[in-house]
Chain A
Amino acid sequence: MSNKEFPQQIEENLEGTTVFNIPFPKDDDLSVLKKLSPIVYKHPYSIEYNYSYGLDSPFFAGLANKRFIVCREPESGYTYATPRGHDMYSGKETEWVEIVPEGRIHGFTVCHFGSEAFLPECPFVLILVEFEECDTLFLARLIGVDPNKANIDWIGKKVKGRFLRNAKLKPTDIYFNVVE
């Protein structure tokens, strides 16, 4: 079955993990292998998704056009500040409603550490915004405050949304400033 017209060896290169002189017993006594230190190697892994926002897509289109739209159940009027295609109580489809992105800080934190993707941005301020027209909250970044002067009094402060000039199609296309 072996065919010498085909290469019989894998062509080796020095890419990826390449190691030399890993210790191994030279005699027949393999019991010492129980004392071998664990082998740890680096393995990069990345994925590019073709991610769909599905029913929430109009929200991001709104941000890209500097419009803030939320979802309202047509009969009860229950309004979600964070988009949701169907109401959790009636099960009915919600409709899009535009509001002015001005509200108050419901809860906040200053992240001095974070996930790898956000480490370069530390410290950053996260807030949950409450809007008068809405029954639920919206998670956003608060910009323009001293992160080292966090104070519980920040809760209840009035905030106003600002849109990125160059939309990234992320919820961070809108961020908030404190309104003095």
Chain B
Amino acid sequence: MRPVYIVSGGVSKFVKARHDKTFQGLVKEAYDYALADIGIEHPKFFELVDGTVASYFSDHFTRQLMAGIMAQDYLGMCPKPSHRVEGGGATGGICFQEAWKSVASGYMDVCLAYGFEHMSHVETWKGNEFIALASDVSFDYPVGGFYSGYYAMMVTRHMAEFGTTVEQLAHVSVKNHINAYHNPYAQKRMRLTIDDVRNSPMVAWPLTRNDICVMSDGAACVIMCSEDGLAKLEKETGQTYHKVKVGGIGRGTDAMRMSDRPHQSYEDFYKYNALPNEMDDDSKAYYKNLWDKGFRYPGIHSFRAGRMASREAYKNANITDPMNEIDFVELHDAYTSSEIQTYEDMGLCRYGEGGNLAASGKVFMPGVEYGLDLPEKPICPVNPSGGLIACGHPVGATGLMQGVFALWQLQGTVEKHFSDPTLQLKDAKRGAIHSHAGTGTYVTVSIIEKEN
């Protein structure tokens, strides 16, 4: 595989309803922004781009099959090669990785990845129904198909298993909403308190409205290229671009039905799932103790797919200590609880320690006032953009949105794009983006790095 650079990206403003444009128009908005940012116009870019990958989750929302080709057509990308990818909530992350593969394999020198979701065509409760159809329609959906319900069952198990508290969950919500206060692309820019989160309407006990991401209309795109592709773009525009590359990717899967999740032995966990930073004696003793008390892995409290995706991505990017070797993470926080679960899957802490990490301060942004008493300083900020909870979750766009925000973070151009420097991390060299589907069925992790 050859090196792959991310040269530009664009995001439409995520909002509850964009009635002013159809999905093609939203994609065009993100695409035009990405081109403008590298100083090239469509006719010239069209000469240089080799193909595209399209990303959207549900045909139901748009009541339109083959919407991918309609976006391709509207962008003026025909007759270049393209295909659509779909993998639930991870659709955008899969799209990002498919574009990477197109370039890394040598098939393309310049590849455009674009994604969208136009969810406002139906009311929220109907949208919840569409999303719940991404659970087994024989055994899960008919019992009360509702993704917030599925995740709430994971939460109660996490609470019973590890002592995680609703206040710890609320820390995630406060962090992400306040981060998003400085992100003009975000849908919910709010200064919340722990009480605000806990006192908001209960959706699925113990998750409240402010523990859960919202449906959104939006689009995002990323332009990736090989060294040759980068040279062609730079020659065309006369500019020199930031060298930001994909350091490695990983992907994992797990059973569609949460009820089918297996429970591996301690030995198998260490053989197949453990990360390099869990190989020390202290961690082995910690996990042995969990297993001795009846711990099930992955059970319903953990995402084995997320762990496998992380493990593969870290191996490919030579990461052995994620908390200290990754400067920030944009992860799939569809729920405050899933952010905590994902800390553990990604090895930012051990399984069972996610609740404490959420309230520790280590995953908060430096220089942002949260109104919380945080005992420790930031080490690896998680969801500096505000994540899905505050930015919104237009499914097919979300994983690409993470890629764009990570790119801007590593370019050091957050102030330029946000008109606000608050969320710019100083000297960020490496970030991770994490995209997640279903109850943990498909998960992608991609490492993005600034080239020295």
Say yes or no for B152: interface residue by CB 8 A criterion. yes
Note all chain A residues with C-beta closer than 8 A to B152.
Answer: 109, 111, 126
Stretch touching chain A among B140-148, B188-196, B319-327, B356-364: B140-148
Say yes or no for B291: interface residue by CB 8 A criterion. no
Encode contact with A along B147-163: 1 for CB under 8 Å, 0 otherwise.
01110111111011000
> Is there contact, CB below 8 Å, between A121 and B156?
no
Min CB distance, A78 to chain B, in Å? 9
Note all chain A residues with C-beta closer than 8 A to B20.
Answer: 38
Stretch touching chain B among A6-14, A22-30, A94-102, A136-144: A136-144
Say yes or no for B292: interface residue by CB 8 A criterion. no
A108-B19 in contact given A139-B259, A140-B143 (Cβ < 8 Å): no
> Which of A80, A126, A172 meets B153, CB within 8 Å?
A126
CA distance A83 to B261 in the complex (A): 13
Say yes or no for B258: interface residue by CB 8 A criterion. yes
> Which of B21, B201, B259 meets A138, CB within 8 Å?
B259
Of all chain A residues, the one with the shortest Cβ separation from B145 is: A115
Size category of the B interface is 35 or more
Of all chain B residues, the one with the shortest Cβ separation from A127 is: B153
Size category of the A interface is 35 or more
Say yes or no for A19: interface residue by CB 8 A criterion. no
> Which of B139, B154, B255 meets A171, CB within 8 Å?
B139
Interface of chain A, main secondary structure: mixed
Of all chain A residues, the one with the shortest Cβ separation from B296 is: A106
A136-B260 in contact given A115-B128, A116-B123 (Cβ < 8 Å): yes
Note all chain A residues with C-beta closer than 8 A to B203.
Answer: 111-113
CA distance A154 to B206 in the complex (A): 13
> Is there contact, CB below 8 Å, between B146 and A118?
yes
> Which of B123, B125, B138, B202 meets A112, CB within 8 Å?
B202
CA distance A87 to B155 in the complex (A): 28
Say yes or no for B129: interface residue by CB 8 A criterion. yes
Say yes or no for B63: interface residue by CB 8 A criterion. yes
* 27 contacts across the A-B interface (CB closer than 8 A): A82-B260, A83-B139, A88-B255, A106-B157, A108-B153, A111-B144, A113-B148, A113-B203, A114-B128, A114-B145, A115-B125, A115-B132, A115-B145, A116-B126, A118-B145, A118-B146, A126-B150, A128-B258, A128-B259, A139-B140, A139-B258, A141-B144, A152-B160, A154-B156, A155-B160, A170-B142, A171-B143
Q: Which residues of A contact B (CB under 8 A)?
A: 38, 40, 43, 45, 51, 53, 56, 80-84, 88, 106-119, 121, 124, 126-128, 135-141, 150, 152, 154-156, 170-172
